[in-house]
Structures are given as structure tokens and as C-alpha cells.
Structure 1
Amino acid sequence: MLGFQRAFRLLHATMKNQIVPRGNYMSKPPEEILTPADQAIGLIVMFSVFLIPSGWILAHIQDYKAHQNE
């Protein structure tokens, strides 16, 4: 229990003195307004980039397992 208390005090001391830099964010209007069609195309492309290769691998995982054993 004493070791836990020492570790907790050490962690608390390190977290207490951290300085987080302030971000320099400026909000401004967008340079180009995206239409809903543009947004839909962008979402479809992003999802397909991630889901099509993963689906291919999952659909052919048995082939990969069989090829590995040969």
C-alpha cells in the first residue's frame, strides 16, 4: 500500500506542474462553400478507401490461411 501511495504522489506531482501551450486558432469563414453533393462524394470516397480493402481481406482470409500452410 505504501508503494501505491508513493507512486500516486509521484504521478500527481508530475501532472500538477504541466504547462499546456495555448493554441493560436483563428476562426474565419470558409474559402469555398461545399455543397451537400460534394460532402456526400467526399464521405463515400473516404469510407470506400477504408472499407473496400478491409472487406477484400476479410472475404479472402481463408485463402490467405490456406496459402500460408503450403
Structure 2
Amino acid sequence: MAKKPKKEENPKVHKDLEGFKMSINSFGEISSSFSIEKLNEFLNKNVEDKKLKDREDIDDIKEGKSSDS
């Protein structure tokens, strides 16, 4: 029995990432429909960094304050 081709569906994504697509070409290079800066901004806003969660000055870092001032 022949396999039916899968219908290509768009994955469910966060509303801020609507239209986001990634692909890998034949050379192994990753291409994306969003810029790296936009992806990093989204991740910084929505994902907790486990390495920094126990730091006391994390709120200052998130607000953009430096510890030097």
C-alpha cells in the first residue's frame, strides 16, 4: 500500500513569531525568515536564562542598568 503524502502544515508558534520559517540548504547553512536580532529580542523577552536566574542584579540587567553606575 502506498503512503499518502503528508499535508504540509504550519507549526503552531507564538503570536510574535507568526511567519517564522527556518530551512537548511544543501551546504548545511541555516536560513531564516526572521533576522537574528529579532529572534534574540524575542528569546530575551520570553525565555528565562537558567545561568542568570540566581543573580541578585538580574533585574538591573534586564532594565539595561549597568552595575558600574
* Normalised-by-shorter TM-score class: under 0.3
TM-score norm. by structure 2 comes to: 0.22
Query: Which structure is higher in helix share?
Result: 1
Of the two structures, which has the highest relative contact order with CA contacts closer than 8 Å and spacing of 6 or more? 2
